[in-house]
Amino acid sequence: MEEVAYAKINLALHVRARNADGYHSIETLFAFAEEGDLLRVTPAETLSLEVTGPFSTQLGAAEDNLVLRAGEALGGRYQVSQGAALTLDKRLPVASGIGGGSADAAAALRLLVRWWGLPNEQDVLLEIARGLGADVAACLRSEAVRGTGRGDKLAPADGERLRGTPLLLVNPGVPLSTALVFAGWDGVDGGSLRDDPAKDRNDLEVPAIKAAPVIKEVLDLLGSLPGATLNRMSGSGATCFALFDSEAQRDGGATRIADSHPQWWTLPTRLR
C-alpha cells in the first residue's frame, strides 16, 4: 500500500498572540497540493522506516522521524502487534513551510489505519495528530480548512472553489527554522482572516525575508508571472507559491523560473 503526504499550503496566515508556553496563536487557511512525499508499506515483524528520494539526505536519523512516532502512537493506541516496513520517498524540501514532517506523519496515520485494518475513527486520529505537532491535524485532513489555536483547531472552509486551481511551488534552497521565524514576528495582532485570501497576507513573510532575503526575490518573480492571481510565502517559509488562471500559464511560469534560476526547486501542481 502507499499514501501521498500532500504538500501543505498556507493561503493566508495571521499571528494573533505569543503565548506563555512558547507557542503562538494563529489563524490560517490551509490548502493542499495534489502532490507531495510518498509513503509505502510492506509486511514486517516490527515497525521500521527507510528514507529515500531526492531530499532524503536533508533529514536526520530515520529513528527520529515523525513518521515512526506516528506509527508508534497509533499502534500503542490500538495495541497493534503487527509490524510495518515503511519507506518514505522524500520529494519535498525539508524545513520549507509546506508541511514536510507533519504531512509525512499524517500520511503514516492514514496508511497504517488501512494496513493494520483499524477503525477509521477521526476523533482518535485527530487526537494522535495533535500530539505529534501543530500542523499534523490539518495534514491528516489534507483538504481546505481554517486553523486556529496553534493551527490544530480546525473548522470547515470552502474548498470547492479552490479545488483544481493551478499552483506553482518554488523554494530557493534555503531551509528556515520555524522557531526563528516566529521569534521574529513583531508582536502586532493584525486581526482575523479576511474572506478572500487574495486580499489577505502571511504575517511571517517579513521575519522570514529578514532571515532569508532571497524569499523576496522569489515573491517578486512569482508576482511578475502572467496569469498569477495570488503569490505568497507558505507557512514560515522559505517555499513560496502562486495560483494561476490556467495550467498553461502556470507551466510557462515554471519554465521561466527553471531557466532563470535552475538551482531553485519548483513543482507545478494543483490544489486538491
Catalytic residues: 8, 135
Is the Cα torsion angle 96, 98, 230, 154 positive or negative in sign?
negative
Q: For 224, left (φ over 0), alpha (ψ -120 to 50), or beta?
A: alpha
Q: By the 8 A CB rule, do 173 and 217 touch?
A: no
CA-CA distance, 91 to 259, in Å (whole number)?
Answer: 21
- Residues sharing a CB contact under 8 Å with residue 35, sequence separation 6 or more, in sequence order: 4, 6, 7, 91, 267, 269
CA-CA distance, 63 to 48, in Å (whole number)?
Answer: 8
Cell output for 95 = 524545513
1 exposed, middle or buried (CB, 10 Å; 0-12, 13-18, 19+)? exposed
Residue holding cell 522569489? Answer: 218
Q: By the 8 A CB rule, do 28 and 151 touch?
A: yes
> Which residue in 28, 178, 169, 151 sits closest to 93, CA to CA?
169
Angstrom CA distances, 102 to 36, 45, 69, 212, 243, stand at 12, 26, 11, 23, 23
> Which residue in 238, 212, 242, 210 sits closest to 225, CA to CA?
242
